[in-house]
Amino acid sequence: MAAIDLNQILAPQENLARILDNLKEGVIAHDLKRRIFFFNRQAEMITGYKREEILGRDCHEAFGIPFCGERCSFCDNSPPAPGAPEVKEYTLNITTKQCESRRLEMTVTLMRDHTGDFVGVLALFRDITDELRLMMQTGNLTRFSNIVGRDAKMLQVFQQISDVAAYDYPVHIFGDTGTGKELVATAIHNEGHRAGTPFVPINCGALPEGLIESELFGHVKGAFSGAIRDKKGRFELADGGTIFLDEVAELSKNMQVKLLRFLQEGEFERVGGEKTLAVSVKVISATNKDLKEEVRRGRFREDLYYRLSVIPIFIPPLRERKTDIPLLANHFMQEAAMKHGQSPFRIAKEALALLMDYPWPGNVRELQNAIQFAFVKSNGRLLAVDDLPMEIKGQLEGMPRKGPVRKLEVRTVRSALKKAGGNKSRAARLLGVGRATLYRFLNAHPEALSPE
C-alpha cells in the first residue's frame, strides 16, 4: 500500500478545491474586474463549459452574457455602492453551451477580505429544471413567478413562460380581460436574463392618437405645442429591458407602421427629431381581441401580426380552470389580511360553492375584487355567503336548473349523503341540486348530517 502524503492532502488550496468540487451546487467566483478564478466540477456539469474555457475570463464574455443575468453587481466594472445588499437570492434561466435552457436557483454573495474590503463575488447555483418539470407534471406546483394556479392549463402557461424567458423573441399574450396578461408578461421578464432591468408597460388603448407616438418613441424640444424639452419615450426607458405593449390591437394604422419598422430594424426617431436611435429591448404585446380576426377585417397589419406573434401564449379564462378558484380565493384573502394587519381568515364552504358555480366574466380580476369586497363586509371574520357581492349570489339564484326544482328533505338528504360516502358534491348530484343549495340546506338543517 502506497504511503499517504499528508502534506498533499492537507495543502489548503488543493483541499478546499477538492471539497468544493464535491458539492452538489455549482460554484463560480470572480474578482473585482469580473475575472473568474474558481469554477467547480458541478458548475461544469450544469453549464456545459469546461473550467479551462472559463478561468481567467470576464464572466460577461465567457458565457456570452452576464452569467448572473442583469442582476449582476459588477455590470459597470465597479464595486457595489455602499449599502447595496451583500446577498441576493433569485431564480434564473440560462442557456448552456449545448444551447439547452436550464433553470437555476442562484445565491450571489459579495466577498470581503480580512480588512472588510470587497474583493469579488461568490455565486452558488443549483439546477432545478427537472425538479420544476416534475412538479408541473404531477400537479404539485401551486405558483410560479408570483402567478397562482395549479390547473393543467395554467401549468402549461408556466412551462411556456419558462421556455420563452431565455430568449429575446417577441411574445404575444392573448386572453380575456382580467386573466392576468400583464402578470404573465412580468413573469417572462423576471424569469429571463433581463431580470433586474426596466420593465416598462404602456396601455396602447389608454392614450389619444396624438400622444401615443411621443409616449412610445419620445420627442424633441419644439416638436409640437407643449414640447418644452426633450423627452425619452418608453422604448428608450426600456433600453436593456422589456417593453410591454398592452392592448396593442388599439394602435392606429400609422402607429402600426412605425412599430413594424422598429421591430424590423431596431431603430426609431423621436417625434420632431432627425437622429436615429437604437435600443435593445424585448417586446411583449397583449390584447383581449383575436388579432387574426383583426387582420382579416383589415384593422391590423398582417406583417406586424407575424412580427409580434413569434411566440403566442394563451391565458385561459377562469371559467375554464375552476379548480384554481379555491387557491386564488385563499391567496387573495391572505393578501387582504396581511395588508390590513389582520389574522388570516377562512371562507365558508357555502360561499366557496357559490364562487365555484359563478361564471366569472371578469376572470381573476373580478375574483380579487369579490374577495376584497367580502373581506371588508365580513370585517375579517369567516367569509360567509352574505358577504359576497350581490351579482354572485343573484346570478346563482337566477340560473336555470336541469329538470324540475326538487324540494329537499332531511330524510332524502341524509340518504344521499350515505350513498355518497359523505361527499357533499356527489350527494348534490344524486339529489339533482347545486352544491350551494345543498350547503344552504345543511346549514339550516344540521341534523341531516347525523346518521339515523
Residue 443 pLDDT more than 90? no
What integer pLDDT is reported at residue 408 of this predicted model? 80
Residue 207 pLDDT more than 90? no
β-pairing, 282-287 vs 242-246, is parallel
Transcribe 28-89 into DSSP letters.
EEEETT-BEEEE-HHHHHHH---HHHHTTSBHHHHTSS-TTGGG-TTTTSSPPPTT--SEEE
Instruction: Give how far the C-alpha of residue 369 lies from the chain's centroid of Cα atoms, to the nearest Å.
Output: 20
Q: Which amino acid is at 155?
A: L
Residue 37 pLDDT more than 50? yes
Q: For residue range 126-175, what is the model confidence (pLDDT) as tens digits?
A: 999 888 888 877 777 888 988 999 999 999 999 999 889 888 999 999 99
Residue 192, SS3 per DSSP: coil
Residue 60 pLDDT more than 70? yes
What integer pLDDT is reported at residue 403 of this predicted model? 42
What integer pLDDT is reported at residue 173 of this predicted model? 97
CA separation for the pair 442, 436 (Å, rounded) = 10
Sheet containing 118-127: order of strands: 36-39, 26-31, 118-127, 101-112, 87-95
Closest to 350 (Cα-Cα) out of 318, 413, 391, 392: 392
pLDDT band at 357 (very low <50, low <70, confident <90, very high): confident
Going through 116-219 in order, the beta strands assigned E by DSSP cover: 118-127, 143-144, 147-148, 171-174, 199-203
pLDDT band at 380 (very low <50, low <70, confident <90, very high): low
Ramachandran sector of residue 432 (left: φ over 0; alpha: ψ -120 to 50; beta: rest): left
Residue 6 pLDDT more than 80? no
User: Which helix (H) or strand (E) is 302 found in, with range?
Assistant: helix 302-308
Alpha helices in 321-434 (DSSP H): 325-339, 349-357, 363-378, 390-398, 410-419, 424-431
pLDDT band at 386 (very low <50, low <70, confident <90, very high): confident
Read off φ and ψ for residue 14, nearest 5 degrees.
Answer: -65, -40
Sequence-ordered list of residues with C-beta below 8 angstroms from that of 176, at least 6 positions apart, any chain: 288, 315, 317, 363
Residue 41 pLDDT more than 70? yes
Would you call 125 exposed, middle or buried from its count of C-beta atoms within 10 A (0-12, 13-18, 19+)? buried
What integer pLDDT is reported at residue 114 of this predicted model? 84
pTM of model > 0.85: no
Mean pLDDT of 185-210: 89
More confident residue, 1 or 181: 181
CA separation for the pair 157, 430 (Å, rounded) = 35
pLDDT band at 302 (very low <50, low <70, confident <90, very high): very high
More confident residue, 93 or 104: 104
Question: C-alpha grid cell for residue 312?
Answer: 403566442
What integer pLDDT is reported at residue 450 of this predicted model? 76
More confident residue, 84 or 43: 43
